[in-house]
């Protein structure tokens, strides 16, 4: 069971990927984790990726796919895996499909966790973090006992740059331009399934499991 998770930043696809991984015993794979592990371990692929990153360049799609397939060749991926954060663009999806075809494999499900932009901006702009101990809060869903003060250590809470409304709006713009076309791509392959990500986390997960079962 090979699954791709789709959805805008803050839609909750990472949370759902973790829950799927736990229930079905599949590895939850993010390209960011793969890059970090290969660079840390000094693998040949990691050194190649680092050479691009050190120059401030994007790692080419072909190299990213090679890193990904190196990871999915591991024993823990024999039953399948969940890809989170890749592919992000049509060329990446095409490169992945080409390499999987050589292995006689295909992606079985592309699950789109759909949440309107205004919900995501509200969700993410309500996040607060403690710069001292790392505790996280949300003004609406998990508020601190005292406004803007960390329950754990009493430090003043901050809004991370990534969670500022203008940053979130820009990330959503990039998502719609680059990643949204993937929804049409996988729809044409008849493997796209959409779930309503505005529901409670458990209800979203029930919708996901009903697709997978």
CATH number at residue 158: 3.40.50.300
Q: What is the pLDDT of residue 180?
A: 86
Question: Looking at the domain assignment, is residue 34 inside a domain?
Answer: no
Active site residue 88: yes
pLDDT means per 10 residues in the chain (213 residues)? 93 93 95 88 92 86 90 93 92 92 95 94 90 93 94 95 88 87 95 96 96 93
Residue 64 lies in a domain: no
Q: What is the 3-state composition of the chain as percent helix, strand, coil, each rounded to the nearest 5?
A: 50, 15, 35
Q: What's the gap between Cα 41 and its chain centre? A: 23
According to the model, what pLDDT value does residue 53 have? 86
Q: Is residue 36 a part of any domain in this protein?
A: no
In the prediction, which pLDDT does 72 show? Answer: 92
Per the structure, how many domains does the chain have?
A: 1
Catalytic one among 2, 71, 123, 127? 127
DSSP state of 105: -
Query: Of 123, 138, 130, 134, whose CA–CA distance to 157 is shortest?
Result: 130
* Of 88, 122, 132, 164, catalytic: 88
What sign does the dihedral 131-86-90-67 (CA atoms) show?
positive
**Domain that residue 195 falls in:** 2-27+74-212
- How far out from the chain centre does Cα 124 lie? 15
Residue 82 lies in a domain: yes
Report the pLDDT value the prediction gives residue 191, as an integer from 0 to 100: 97
Annotation marks residue 160 as catalytic = yes
Q: Is 84 helix (H, G, I), strand (E, B) or coil?
A: strand
Look at residue 102 and tell me if it is in a domain: yes
Residue 154 lies in a domain: yes
The answer to whether residue 69 is domain-embedded is no
The answer to whether residues 61 and 92 touch, using CB atoms and an 8 Å cutoff, is yes
Residue 32 lies in a domain: no
Q: Which residues contact 110 (CB under 8 A, 6 or more apart)?
A: 3, 4, 6, 182, 183, 186, 189, 191, 192, 193
Of 160, 173, 189, 206, catalytic: 160
pTM over 0.95: no
Q: Tell me what pLDDT residue 28 has.
A: 95
């Amino acid at each position: 069971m090979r699954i791709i998770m789709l959805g805008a930043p803050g839609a909750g696809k990472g949370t759902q990927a973790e829950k799927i991984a736990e229930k079905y015993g599949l590895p939850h794979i993010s390209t960011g984790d793969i890059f970090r592990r290969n660079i840390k371990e000094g693998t040949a692929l990691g050194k190649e990726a680092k050479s691009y990153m050190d120059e401030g360049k994007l790692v080419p799609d072909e190299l990213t796919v090679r890193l990904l397939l190196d990871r999915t060749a591991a024993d823990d991926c024999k039953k399948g895996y969940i890809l989170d954060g890749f592919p992000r663009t049509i060329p990446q999806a095409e490169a992945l499909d080409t390499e999987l075809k050589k292995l006689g494999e295909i992606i079985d499900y592309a699950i789109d966790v759909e949440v309107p932009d205004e919900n995501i901006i509200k969700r993410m702009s309500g996040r607060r973090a403690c710069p001292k101990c790392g505790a996280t809060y949300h003004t609406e869903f998990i508020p601190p006992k005292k406004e803007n003060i960390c329950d754990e250590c009493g430090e003043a809470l901050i809004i991370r740059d990534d969670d500022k409304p203008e940053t979130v709006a820009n990330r959503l713009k990039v998502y719609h331009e680059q990643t949204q076309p993937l929804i049409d791509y996988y729809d044409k392959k008849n493997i796209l399934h959409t779930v309503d990500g505005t529901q409670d986390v458990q209800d979203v997960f029930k919708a996901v499991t009903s697709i997978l079962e």
